[in-house]
Structure 1
């Protein structure tokens, strides 16, 4: 099990109540959201670093990535 540390956070009451309608483990819910945000931040840093070294992604590369990530229909909608 991962090491944890207890912290106190402040949330708008409406947001907390909304979260409670989706889960009975608000701490786990917030942890999952924070982990996703951290993965996105790290990926953004990697993509930025790659583009600084090799240049910006072309439209064709972006279309191919959208197809791989979302399938053909989503890629066609984004085009």
Structure 2
């Protein structure tokens, strides 16, 4: 199990109430959101590094990547 550390955060009341309306584990919910944000940040860094070394992605490369994530409709849109 991952090590944890208790922290105190301040949230708008409405946001906290919204989270509590669909989860009993606000801490777990926020942890999951933070982990996703961190993965996106790390991926963005890797993509930026790749483009710095090899150049910007083409429209077709971007469409192919979107198709892998969202389905083939993206390739047809870019064509």
TM-score by length of 2: 0.93
- Check 1:31–1:76 CA distance in 2 against 1; reply closer, same or farther (3 A cut): same
Q: CA deviation at 1:72?
A: 1.5
Task: Provide structure 2 residue ranges, at least 5 long, that are not aligned to the other structure.
Answer: none
8 Å CA contact 2:64, 2:75 repeated in 1: no
Greater RCO (Cα-Cα under 8 Å, separation 6 or more): 2
Corresponding position of 1:61: 61
Query: How many residues in Structure 1 have an aligned counterpart in Structure 2?
Result: 78
- Check 1:78–1:31 CA distance in 2 against 1; reply closer, same or farther (3 A cut): farther
8 Å CA contact 2:19, 2:26 repeated in 1: yes
Q: What RMSD over aligned residues (CA atoms) do the two structures have, in Å? A: 1.4
Alignment deviations for residues 11-52 of structure 1 (CA, whole Å, 9 cap, x no partner): 000000000011000000000000000000000000000000
TM-score by length of 1: 0.93
Q: CA deviation at 1:7?
A: 0.1
